[in-house]
Structure 1
Amino acid sequence: MRRSSWILTGSAVALVAASAVMRFSVCPALHQIPSDADGTFHYKGTASLLNAPALAAGDRAHAFLRDLPVTLDRRITVKDTSGRTAVVLDSAVLRGPDGKPLNAAKHVWAVDRRTLVDRPAPAGSGAEKHTGLVFSWPLDPEKRDYRFWDSGIRKTVPARYTGQETVNGRDAYRYDIEATGPLADPATVEALPKVLPRSAVAALTAVLPAARRPDEAVLADLPEAVPLTYVSTTVRTGWVDANTGLSLNGVLRQTVLARTQGAGGPVTLFPVTDVAVKGTAASVREQAHDASTAQRVWWWLSTGVPLGLLVLAALPAGLAVRSARRPAADRGTAGDEHEGTPAA
């Protein structure tokens, strides 16, 4: 075999190897949450809230803020990565019509960079313990139910797959989640009163619609100092891009109700928060655009580039085969010329 054939064959083998490395080594390493990921999704809707400052000041006439137009900004930021683990800051700010914050929450999670489920928290990260998904979905979502962590009750609940729909031109999987139980988020529990005077409870319940007020006889039987517990209910729907796992849109309803123990059992007194929001049109468009871009980039990395390397490998391989065959043909031609030469 000629030296050129060896060179061409070696080039072809190198390109095939590069294609395999790109497809089966580089791509899996890149198919995960980037270490610099930082995104904010915007919601809008309404909220009814217990006005803690007014309550503390004894202004019971303004103890509730009702049906306020609100925005909710949820920001997800990767703080650190270690192998397959990402430490993520999950922050949300609820703002009123004047743009001033009404409520805020922050959590730190340690998650798998591909499946987004819980991972052991790195030392010193401050990540909260949880199980299942918590703020987003796997990069390769499936048409099945998942386990989802609700930070309000600090328990895992089902995220049920309920069908495939189209969101802003993208194929999306829909998941519905409902979580209800005793309020367990430490920051929220700490901010709420543990006891209220019976007169304050009566004043708060008096401004509720008649259908939502507790029975007056039940209120009259309560002690002078009414101990309070709280129940959290979260109902959400998420539309997740079928190809990339990006959240395209969401609807969220969160309520916290104050309760106490009456003579006949638990008594629901008044709502503390009632927030109902959905993704803004601008955020939905942006998420759909990002999903489309991510899908194109991933196609090039996982398919386009490896396939291109294989096509390139075919060129030197073909030349090597042609070069290897040429000497035999040349010898045959030389022999034919010799046989046809007349003897001297």
Structure 2
Amino acid sequence: MRRSTWILSGSAAVLVAASVVTRVVVYPSVHQLPDDTDSVFEYTGTASMLNAQALEAGDLANAFLNDIPVTLDRHVKVVDTDGGTAVISDDVVIKGPDDSELSTTSHRWAVDRKDLEDRPAPEGSEAEEHQGLVISWPLDPKEQDYTFWDPTTGSEAPAVYDRTEDVEGRDAYVFVINHEGPVADPAIQARFPEALPKEVLAGVAQSLPPEQQQFDPAMLELLPDMVPLTYAATTQRTAWVDSETGAVLNGTLEQAIVAQTEGPEGPVTLAPVNAMSVEGTEEGTKERADDADSAANLLWLVRTVIPLGLGGVAVILLALAVWLELKARRGAAGTEDGPSTSPAAATD
């Protein structure tokens, strides 16, 4: 085998190996939650809530703020990785019309970097226990139901696949979550009083709009002077999830929290203390759709185009090597079989 054939064959072998490495090693390494993930999802909408300052001042007429404009920023960041596990900080800040903070919650989760399901918390990470998805959808989402984790109630919630829609030119799977239960998030619990005098509670309930009044005046005589309170939440979420990357392109959130007290037959709802309805911004949706488009193109290149391109060039080089080798052998065979000329004949 000639030197040129060796070079071409060796180059083809290297390209085949590079194609395999790209598909088997490089693609899985990029098709996972990046260790530099740092994103903010912004929602806008309205909220109605207890006015703690008015309540403390005894101003019951203004103890409940109705339909004030709010923004909700959810900041998700990878703070550490351990092999296929990522530790995520998940911070939510709700601000009022004057940009003042109305509430904040902070959590830390350990998730799989590919399917984003719960994983055992690495030692020292302080990640909270949870089950199922909590920050987003798998990188390869399916048209199926998933189990999501609701931090407000500290419990599992079904995320039901509903339909597929177009969002800024991207196919998006639409998932719907409807869930309710006792409030378990310590940060949310700390925002509301553990007990209220029954006169104050009755005054707050009566100051609400008629459609929000849930307090039965007949219960007043049955309550103790200081009414112990617990809280329950009802949450409705809708998420538009990119079908190729699992990125959340848009979302809505409607959540209501009510005050309850224990009655003869179980918890009795007294009055709403917080209600919020928000949705993702148009600008944010467009930006996330563009990011998903770029990510999908990159994955397509690494998964398909580059491996096939390298393999195609390898086939061409190998074919060229075979052609050159056969050509060289035919030339050598022709030389060996050709007519010879004797010295005597040359002198005639």
Q: Name the TM-score, length of structure 1 as normaliser.
A: 0.96
Aligned equivalents of 1:148 and 1:341: distance in 2? 93
Aligned equivalents of 1:281 and 1:340: distance in 2? 89
1:252 maps to what in 2? 253
Distance 1:257 1:343, change over 3 A: farther
Q: What secondary structure does 2:339 align onto?
A: helix
Q: What secondary structure does 2:315 align onto?
A: helix
TM alignment of 1:99-178, pairs within 5 A: 99-178=99-178
Contact 1:218 1:262 survives alignment (8 Å): no
Amino acid in structure 2 at the alignment position of 1:253: E
Contact 1:214 1:267 survives alignment (8 Å): no
1:312 maps to what in 2? 313
Contact 2:70 2:95 survives alignment (8 Å): yes
Contact 1:206 1:213 survives alignment (8 Å): no
1:68 maps to what in 2? 68
Quote how far apart the aligned CAs of 1:264 are.
5.7
Amino acid in structure 1 at the alignment position of 2:326: R
2:280 maps to what in 1? 279
Amino acid in structure 1 at the alignment position of 2:96: G
- Runs of at least 5 residues in structure 2 that lack an aligned partner in the other structure: none
168-177 or 261-270, which deviates more = 261-270
1:282-315, Cα deviation, whole Å (9 max, x unpaired)? 0100110000010111111111111111122123
Distance 1:342 1:38, change over 3 A: same
Q: Name the TM-score, length of structure 2 as normaliser.
A: 0.95
2:47 maps to what in 1? 47
Amino acid in structure 1 at the alignment position of 2:188: T
Distance 1:30 1:343, change over 3 A: farther
183-192 or 281-290, which deviates more = 183-192
Quote how far apart the aligned CAs of 1:335 are.
4.5
Aligned equivalents of 1:340 and 1:186: distance in 2? 105
Contact 2:77 2:90 survives alignment (8 Å): yes
Amino acid in structure 1 at the alignment position of 2:50: L
244-253 or 187-196, which deviates more = 187-196
Amino acid in structure 2 at the alignment position of 1:14: V
1:261 matched to 2:235? The reply is no
Contact 2:140 2:243 survives alignment (8 Å): yes
Contact 2:153 2:185 survives alignment (8 Å): yes
1:160-210, Cα deviation, whole Å (9 max, x unpaired)? 111111111110001111110111112222332111101110110011233
Contact 1:148 1:159 survives alignment (8 Å): yes
Aligned equivalents of 1:259 and 1:66: distance in 2? 20
Aligned equivalents of 1:50 and 1:343: distance in 2? 122
Contact 1:256 1:274 survives alignment (8 Å): yes
Amino acid in structure 1 at the alignment position of 2:215: P
1:290 matched to 2:273? The reply is no
190-199 or 329-338, which deviates more = 329-338
Q: How many aligned positions are there?
A: 344
209-218 or 289-298, which deviates more = 209-218
Amino acid in structure 1 at the alignment position of 2:272: P
Quote how far apart the aligned CAs of 1:316 are.
2.0
Amino acid in structure 1 at the alignment position of 2:93: V
Distance 1:195 1:324, change over 3 A: same
1:18 maps to what in 2? 18
- Aligned residues with identical type, % of pairs: 50
Quote how far apart the aligned CAs of 1:321 are.
0.3
Quote how far apart the aligned CAs of 1:254 are.
1.1
1:98 matched to 2:98? The reply is yes
Amino acid in structure 2 at the alignment position of 1:227: P
Quote how far apart the aligned CAs of 1:220 are.
2.9
Quote how far apart the aligned CAs of 1:333 are.
2.7
Quote how far apart the aligned CAs of 1:65 are.
1.1
1:212-233, Cα deviation, whole Å (9 max, x unpaired)? 2322111232111111111111
Q: What secondary structure does 1:88 align onto?
A: strand
74-83 or 49-58, which deviates more = 49-58
Amino acid in structure 2 at the alignment position of 1:143: E
- Runs of at least 5 residues in structure 1 that lack an aligned partner in the other structure: none
TM alignment of 1:222-261, pairs within 5 A: 222-261=223-262
Q: What secondary structure does 2:290 align onto?
A: helix
Distance 1:341 1:216, change over 3 A: farther
Contact 2:104 2:187 survives alignment (8 Å): no
